[in-house]
Each structure stands twice: as structure tokens, then as C-alpha cells.
């Protein structure tokens, strides 16, 4: 089956620093989403980005579908950015509808 | 527009019991997916419902089941609970199918003693 690998697994930053999180996937995908899991467990949508580049404030994401990777950029990090970041993909085809496959996540800690 | 809601938020059960979790999707969303999150296995897909029909199922035993009602609300049931069923159960909704963003609820944290 498809492999979704995120790197690095853990990241510690000083407040104000920038970071790049990576997601590699081993097959063509229909859908790719980035999430931030808050301390209470809820998955917060960051980006729906099967291809191209999007920006939302201090966050931006790029997916290069032909090379099967996606990057999440966090600029000027704040302590509230701490948490676990997941990328998740959905394969094409009706047998995969609604089924997101998640990476293992990157745990980010931003220190004041 | 209200987000995805899940009830209850926390639940404690003992082995052998059964449990029912509920998920109310965003208004207008017809697809509901369920996921289990554990420290060891990460986030895993359980099943997806659309218009009261199960369209896809993950690799879980038959003790895990679900259903969807005509108003798109969904329930999942776990029978004969085992210690390993302790997890955060998340549901997500989206409008239709492929190409739509999934939006997640806050989750139900189940502890099996």
C-alpha cells in the first residue's frame, strides 16, 4: 500500500524561527491535506493542497505531485504553533473515497 | 456554520462492554468518515458513509460497525470492548466525495479498563 512519510519526526525551535516540514508519498494521490493537532486532539485543517502552492498568513504549503512530496512552511514561529502536524493523502478511485491515509506526524515544540 | 460535533467527548468503559459514539457533520455535508488514533498505530481509517451507505471500510474487526442516518448524522459502535480499543475516535465530514476537504470533529476519547 501507499507509504506516507513525514520528516523530521520531532522539531524544537526558538520563537521567531522558520521551519519546513516534509511529507513524501509513494503513489499518485487525489487529495493531500495538512493538519495541526491541538493539545485536545482536534485536527485543525491547514491546507487542502493536492498540487501547487498556497499561503495562509505565516503558513504556506507546496505540493509537487509529479515528485510525490509536499512541504509545509512555518515562518516566524510562535509558541501557539506547537503541536503535531500531519499530512494525509487520499488515493484515487471509488474504493478509496473518504479514506485519508496519515503520516506519523511531526511534533513541533516552539520555545519562548 | 457550526463545525463537526462528536458526543460524548470522554468515555470510560470496561472490557466486554459495548459503546456507541455519535457524530454530527457540518450542515450540507453528506459524507462522514471515522478514524481511530492510538499512540502505537497512529491515525487509521475505520469506515466512510455517504447517503446512509457504507462506501469504504478499513482493516478493523467486525466488532467495529457504523451507520448513517437520513440527516447525515453517523454513529459508530464497538462491541465486546478490548483494552486495545482505548483510543481517540475522530470523525470527519465533507460535502460529497473526491476532491473535497475533510473537516474533523473534536473526537471522543475512549478508555477501556
List, edge to edge, every strand of the sheet that includes A4-7: A4-7, A19-25, A69-74, A59-64, A52-56
Task: Work out the percent of chain A whose per-residue pLDDT is above 70.
Answer: 100
Q: Is the Cβ pair A42, B88 closer than 8 Å?
A: no
* pLDDT above 80 for B97: no
CA distance B53 to chain A (A): 12
**A92-95, long-range: CB < 8 A, 24+ apart:** A92/A28, A92/A29, A92/A30, A92/B98, A94/B55, A95/B56
CA A62, CA A47: separation in Å to the nearest integer? 10
- Single out the residue of B64, B70, B91, B71 nearest to residue B7, CA to CA: B91
pLDDT in tens, A48-85: 999 999 999 999 999 999 999 999 999 999 999 999 99
The predicted structure's pLDDT at residue B98: 60
Mutate to test the interface with B, among A48, A99, A104 (most CBs of B within 10 A): A99
C-alpha pair distances (Å), A85 with each of B29, B32, B88:
25, 22, 16
Q: What does the alpha-carbon distance between residue A36 and residue A59 come to, in Å, rounded to a whole number?
A: 11
Task: Please say if the pLDDT value at position A36 is more than 80.
Answer: yes
Q: Cis peptide before A8, with omega less than 30 degrees from 0?
A: yes
Report whether A24 contacts A4 (CB < 8 A): yes
Q: Which residues of A touch B87 (CB under 8 A)?
A: none
Cell of B111: 478508555
Task: From chain B, pick out residues whose CB is under 8 angstroms from the CB of A96.
Answer: 56
Per-residue confidence at A97, pLDDT binned at 50, 70, 90? confident
Nearest by CB to residue A96, choosing from B56, B90, B107, is B56
Is B48 in contact with A86 (Cβ distance < 8 A)? no
Question: To 10 degrees, the CA torsion angle through B22, B25, B27, B29?
Answer: -140
Report whether pLDDT(B80) > 90.
yes
Amino acid at each position: 500500500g501507499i507509504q506516507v512519510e513525514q520528516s523530521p519526526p520531532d522539531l524544537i525551535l526558538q520563537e521567531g524561527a522558520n521551519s519546513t516540514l516534509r511529507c513524501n508519498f509513494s503513489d499518485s494521490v487525489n487529495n493531500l491535506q495538512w493538519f495541526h493537532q491541538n493539545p485536545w486532539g482536534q485536527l485543525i485543517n491547514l491546507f487542502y493542497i493536492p498540487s501547487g502552492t498556497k499561503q495562509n498568513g505565516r503558513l504556506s504549503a507546496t505540493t509537487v505531485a509529479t515528485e510525490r512530496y509536499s512541504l509545509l512552511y512555518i515562518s516566524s514561529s510562535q509558541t501557539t504553533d506547537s503541536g503535531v502536524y500531519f499530512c494525509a493523502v487520499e488515493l484515487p478511485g471509488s474504493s478509496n473515497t473518504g479514506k485519508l491515509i496519515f503520516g506519523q506526524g511531526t511534533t513541533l515544540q516552539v520555545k519562548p | 456554520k457550526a463545525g463537526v460535533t462528536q458526543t460524548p467527548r470522554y468515555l470510560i468503559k470496561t472490557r466486554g462492554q459495548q459503546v456507541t459514539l455519535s457524530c454530527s457533520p457540518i450542515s450540507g455535508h453528506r459524507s462522514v468518515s471515522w478514524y481511530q488514533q492510538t499512540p502505537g498505530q497512529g491515525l487509521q481509517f475505520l469506515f466512510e458513509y455517504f447517503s446512509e451507505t457504507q462506501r469504504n471500510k478499513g482493516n478493523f474487526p467486525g466488532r467495529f460497525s457504523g451507520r448513517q442516518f437520513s440527516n447525515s448524522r453517523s454513529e459508530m459502535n464497538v462491541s465486546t470492548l478490548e483494552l486495545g480499543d482505548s483510543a481517540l475516535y475522530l470523525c470527519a465530514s465533507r460535502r460529497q466525495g473526491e476532491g473535497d476537504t475533510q473537516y474533523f470533529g473534536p473526537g471522543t476519547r475512549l478508555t477501556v479498563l
